[in-house]
Structure 1
Amino acid sequence: MKSTPPLTQIPADADARKAVGPVICYPVDSLPRVDIAAYRQVRDHLDLVDTVIAAPRDAVTWHVPAGHFFRIICSEGPQVGDLNLFNARDLSERFYSGKTRALNGTHLGVGDQLFSTFPAMRPMATITHDALDWYGFDEFGGAVHDVIGTRCDPYTHNLLSNGGQYHHCCHSNLTRAFAEASGKSLEEAEPFIHDVLNVFMCTGFTRDTGQYFMKASPVRPGDYLEFFAEIDLLGALSACPGGDCGTEHSSDNIACYPLVVEIYKPASLPVGWVAPRVNGYDRSHGA
């Protein structure tokens, strides 16, 4: 909301209305939580089974079987990435950033789970390690790994640049990579690309105008974000053309670096782990 004078007369009880306390929309006390200690215990014995690289201003895909780990690694310089996840067996089931945000908060960390779209709506992956967990929230309200931004895209770029054509926005990068992985045409693939987890990106909302902001990512070479695959996954990651997102999006002017994805097989599964079933709602919708 922009900070502009109101057009309506301020009511006499305005302060009282504003003073009403908030109510959490989704109380999550009953939400099943993973035993993160059990997940982390099996990290001591991991075998590297595959490595893929998202080149600067481009995207890459990979498969992760359920019960495996994957890491997104900052390899050469500060770089953010846009992550899409799909059920490898049913591509219509994909990451649902909005519901993940509602259940976990605006920024994700260790123990948080990434939920899928309706009607399956179940955990797809669990964050098991975060080299940036020290960052927390800064004085501007910024934090890392957000699920509030969408993804940089050529349509918004076109709108804001008076008709500019830029083809290496994360939306386009992910579309090309997903099309190649799925065998779909670009036109068929594009509707599958969805709002992302902004890996390593440092973001928040300004307190005065409520505008989404980004700032230079604190990530450094060697830092990584690690996930446990709850179901068989197809992952897609774009190395954002914004680089560390400290200045601008959708540009060839910014220093960009590759991101490395490593897939690991554990020697054993977490104690008590069971692959999540699809959501139990009967889908009758009251009819």
Structure 2
Amino acid sequence: MSSDTLAKIPATPGTPEPVDLPRIVPRRRYGQWAAAVAVLALFGLAADSVVRNKAFQWGVVADYFTSDSILRGLWLTLWLTAVVMVLGFALGTLLAAFRLSANPVLRAVSWGYVWLFRSIPILVQLLLWFNIGALYPQVLGVRTVDLLPPVAVAVVGLTLHEAAFAAEVVRAGILSVERGQVEAAQALGLSRARRWWRIVLPQAMRSIVPPAGNMLIGTLKGTSIVSVIAVNDLLFSAQLVYHRTYQVIPLLMVATLWYAAVTSLLGLGQSYVEKYYARGTERAR
């Protein structure tokens, strides 16, 4: 039925005379269209300048993108990210349990740990651990330098830093579960372990997964800071090459493209995990 037909409905016997109805005209959003065109134009100009700028040396980028040294650095970056996330969240979960405990000593220890490691910049923490031998030259008769090589220093420093933030993420997720859910599980006679595994954690994960995913991506990018203590990660591998070839920009672009590719894959995985734990809620739709 056309709009003209709808605008004037014929009368039937016993009904009032037809009335002319106003036509509904969509609102014209000229400002939004103009802004979209301007943004696209600026994006096109920026992309064109990047592609046509010979200083980027895209041929060199392609040559080194899958070179052995770069791939070894990428592998160490991925390994370091995985280890730090697992250990950081394990320690962070323990700290969150301390913070939620009825024991005031455990609560104070957890609060103090989170306050301390969130207050000190990660670079300062890494440098302190790297120079720990100045404070403790030997531990159990072994030189500290032998106990903590650069990779171990990176794992320890990043894990302790990560645990402070993971503790708050886990604590917030647990607190997001309604108290009535736990009380209902208690009324059903479920054990404490079963209550946590079947009731609390599945609901807490809805609040834990999004910030945890952001922390994972942040940790991946944050591992680049270990290059200052000569850990042969992705960035340090690129630096070793351009210190030899003086092709600074192309090698930095190689590292940038690898970081962008991996973070994109992690973001995609995060979205799937979020949908999985959001089943049955409005967020899953």
More strand by share: 1
Please identify which structure carries the higher helix content. 2
- Please give the TM-score of this superposition, normalised by the length of structure 2: 0.22
Q: Which has the larger radius of gyration?
A: 2
**Greater relative contact order, per chain length (Cα 8 Å cut-off, separation 6+):** 1
Structure 1 length as normaliser, TM-score?
0.22
